[in-house]
A and B are shown apart, each in its own frame.
Chain A
Amino acid sequence: MSERLADWTKGEQAIIYQTCGACGHVQYFHRAFCAACGVSDPREHRASGKGRVYATSLVCRAATPETRAHVPYNILLVDCAEGFRMMAHGENDLAIGDSVTASFRSFTGKLVPFFIKEK
């Protein structure tokens, strides 16, 4: 099996996704196999960080002292240019359909993807 590329969930400033060599399926959640056809060892790629806002929700009431320090923060679903959807943070005034680019910020001491509007 090929080595797993580190991404933001491992503290690296990167968004990683997988494509299946057999059926072409694109997946964001890392697996040792393609969830569409079952073939093992899908290829890993670093995403461009470009995408479009699919949905937003501005969190105003957080559940832990660590997250409460950050309110309000905007949770997004972003449709990435490479054909997968991911959850991330972003600027508070983003709207559905906005073209966005990924950056990274610290949230509760961990690195998280933060999308900003493309100028």
Chain B
Amino acid sequence: MSFITGTGLTSFGRHEGSSSLDLMSRAAQLALDDAGLKRAEIDGILCGYSTVSPHIMLATVFAEHFGIRPSYAHAVQVGGATGLAMTMLAHHLVEAGVCRNVLVVAGENRLTGQSRDASIQALAQVGHPDYEVPLGPTIPAYYGLVATRYMHEYGVTEEDLAAFAVLMRAHACTHPGAQFHDPISVADVMASKPVAMPLKLLDCCPVSDGGAAFVISRERTGEAGVRIRGCAQAHTHQHVTAAPALSELGAEISIARARQATGIAISDVRYAAIYDSFTITLAMLLEDLGLAGRGEAAARVQSGHFGRDGAMPLNTHGGLLSYGHCGVGGAMAHLAEAHLQMTGRAANRQVRDASIALLHGDGGVLSSHVSMFLERVR
């Protein structure tokens, strides 16, 4: 058994003058304070990567900087799925008795530490170096390809996709730490600059500075406990050229494994924290995970199903699309928000019941998937 005993999340946006290590440290201190633990009580460190400051041993760089001498430490790289993959590993390390308290941490000054072009260019390298990258694709183009095919097969429209951007922005407007606080409409999304069709600027997550951290522990440290019930992964391909058919994508495989591992059904879930790098990512994942029928996710957005007061509140902090995306820490914000919701500390964003949460992360071009169920215990 393992518990998420603390979470820390910085605001996302511009952190002028902050390095990746600064942002990691800030988030880590918040997570330690939240868990009520001291540095000496942390015996494991897992960290993500920084595209701004790459290092072959980032976990020990961070451990030295932050002032911890752990008995277990290394970095993890699974693209956007890294945060949940680290949390899954921490869960297993704790369950296996290797560690008592694992600090999971990531942070990056991706917005102010490099040009936006440099970010886009660095990320495009997830493509095949010989068969894809010479064609000048970008991450939005990889997802644009997935989007046109998905829209073709299931009759989804650009306006449908825009509804997800509008929802995430509405949620971000209620969180002081979010990068964007101006409400947007479907018309705004439709009128925003084309990036890689059918994806327009407001269909894409921004580049941000920020940091996030969790502590995963063998024992509860606070009154309200959040337990990791179980998790699973699936990795079907790296490059979009080699992706399986839309009916065989990894999210369906990983959620089936996670459901089997935990005995939890989708109908038991009360809060959803789902990766949303682009509007199409969110639409597809909601449907792949069974949170909406095929081609029906957009209609559920419009009916209020995924709103704060809806039947399945989704990314109440605003998600990658509007809270922001600082790399590995970006999707960790989803878990930090879920933890606040589950412990009744989400203030004006608090949902009625977040007793069981489903989290899902995606790395690459729907390449790597991690599904996870969290449960509140009293």
Query: Which of A56, A85, A88 counts the most B-chain CB atoms under 10 A from its CB?
Result: A56
Could you say which interface size class chain A belongs to?
20 to 34
Contact indicator per residue, chain B 178-203, by CB within 8 Å of chain A (1) or not (0): 00000000000000011111110000
Q: What 0/1 pattern do residues 115 to 150 of B give for CB contact below 8 A with A?
A: 001001100100010111011111011101111110
Give bound CA distance, A110 to B131, whole Å.
Answer: 12
What range describes how many residues of B lie at the interface?
20 to 34
On whether the beta carbons of B240 and A77 are closer than 8 Å, the reply is yes
Establish whether residues A57 and B134, one from each chain, have CB atoms under 8 Å apart when the complex forms. Answer: no
Instruction: Give chain B nearest CB distance to A97 CB in angstroms.
Output: 8
Q: Is A55 an interface residue (CB 8 A)?
A: yes
Contact of A85 with B241 in the complex, beta carbons under 8 Å: yes
Partner of A61, one of B142, B147, B195: B195
Contact indicator per residue, chain A 84-119, by CB within 8 Å of chain B (1) or not (0): 011111000000100000000001101010000000
User: Which of B136, B148, B239 has the largest count of A CB atoms less than 10 A from its CB?
Assistant: B136
Partner of B138 from the list A54, A59, A76, A110 (CB cut-off 8 Å) is A59
The B contact surface, by secondary structure, is: helix
Q: How far is the CA of A29 from the CA of B133 in the complex (A)?
A: 13
* A107 with B195: CB separation less than 8 A: no
Q: Chain B residues with Cβ under 8 A from A62's Cβ? A: 136, 138
Q: Is B38 in the interface zone, CB < 8 Å from A?
A: no
Interface string of B67-110 (1 = CB under 8 A from A): 00000000000000000000000000000000000000000000
Cross-chain contact of A70 among B120, B136, B240 (Cβ < 8 A) = B136
Minimum Cβ distance to chain B for residue A72 (Å): 8
Contact of A64 among B117, B128, B196, B197 (CB under 8 A): B117
Question: Are A107 and B134 neighbours in the complex by a CB distance under 8 Å?
Answer: yes
* A87 adjacent to B194 (CB under 8 Å): no
Contact A63 B135 (CB under 8 A): no
Give the docked Cα–Cα distance between A62 and B130 (Å): 18
Residues of A within 8 A of B148 (CB): 55-57, 96
Interface contact B145-A77, CB-CB below 8 Å: yes
Min Cβ gap A85→B in Å is: 6
A contacts, CB < 8 Å to B: 9, 28-30, 54-64, 67, 70, 72-73, 75-77, 85-89, 96, 107-108, 110, 112
